């Protein structure tokens, strides 16, 4: 288990919030990393490993036209996967991974092209107009290294958003107390 997974479980436990995971190229590795942490059952709702493209639509609600036009390795697909798993499993937070671990390119994308996404609860400070945050990655290494770096990256993105929310709230309170910037 990683320190990032431990910190995710700790922060979500303190906040009383839950997490769901949608995975493609990582094939369950993100869920395994989280559930290796003692106490994860307090915050982890579950995961969907939608490896086949059509399952991203059928199980997670990713737009079928988007999948047909752009393929599964796309930032909007990652965003919709995170949103879909959050809704499907009734969690406060949803995270997702989609990409190409190799050995061959997929959907016109080279090996090492990965998108990870985070979708938070309504009212989260970080939410954008499209509903969440997506990080594009260009990873090097073999299949196993790309998959493990994808796990590390999605957990780091979630931690960044969880910490950013706290920082954002602290900044807002500080601005109010100090009467300006």
pTM, rounded to two decimals: 0.88
Look up the domain containing 31 and give its range: 3-175
Report helix, strand or coil for 119.
Answer: strand
Confirm whether 123 is domain-assigned.
yes
62-75 pLDDT tens trace:
999 999 999 999 99
Buried b (16+ CB within 10 A) or exposed e, 33-68: bbbebeebeebbbebbbbeebeebbebbebeeebbe
Split into its structural domains, the chain has a count of 1
Q: Specify the pLDDT at position 172.
A: 38
State what percent of residues in the chain have pLDDT above 70: 85
What's the CATH code of the domain at 51? Answer: 3.90.950.20
Rounded to whole angstroms, the Cα distance separating 91 from 94 reads 7
Average pLDDT along the chain: 89
Q: Specify the pLDDT at position 125.
A: 53
């Amino acid at each position: 288990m990683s320190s990032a997974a431990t910190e995710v479980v700790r922060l979500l436990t303190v906040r009383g919030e839950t997490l769901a995971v949608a995975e493609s190229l990582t094939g369950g590795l993100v869920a395994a990393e989280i559930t290796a942490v003692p106490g994860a059952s307090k915050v982890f709702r579950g995961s969907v490993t939608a490896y086949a493209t059509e399952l991203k639509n059928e199980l997670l609600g990713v737009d079928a036209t988007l999948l047909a036009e752009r393929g599964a390795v796309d930032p909007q697909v990652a965003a919709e996967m995170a949103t879909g798993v959050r809704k499907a499993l009734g969690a406060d937070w949803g995270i997702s991974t989609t990409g190409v671990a190799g050995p061959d390119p997929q959907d016109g994308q080279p090996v090492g092209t990965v998108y990870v996404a985070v979708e938070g609860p309504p009212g989260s400070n970080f939410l954008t107009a499209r509903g969440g945050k997506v990080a594009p990655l260009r990873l090097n290494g073999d299949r196993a290294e790309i998959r493990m770096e994808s796990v590390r990256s999605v957990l780091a993105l979630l931690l960044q958003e969880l910490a950013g929310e706290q920082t954002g709230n602290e900044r807002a309170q500080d601005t109010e107390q100090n009467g300006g910037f």
